[in-house]
Amino acid sequence: MLGLLLILVTHLFSEFSVFVFGDFFSSFLDNATHAILSSLN
């Protein structure tokens, strides 16, 4: 449950970061999210 919440928050932040930091930082956060998903599974 906590993992899903963390993934949701990270995803929302990565969407928000597109406007603030640009596509590079967003893709970095997406990769981090996938790494978290992989470690949970």
Residues 5-24: tens digit of each pLDDT: 888 898 888 777 677 776 77
* Confidence (pLDDT) at 15: 79
Residue 7 has what pLDDT?
A: 86
The rounded mean pLDDT for the chain is 82
Range of the domain at 25: 2-40
Domain count, the chain: 1
Cβ of 5: how many Cβ atoms within 10 Å? 9
- Give the Cα separation of 22 and 36 in Å (integer): 22
C-alpha separations of 13 from 1, 34, 38 in Å: 18, 14, 19
- pTM check: above 0.75: no
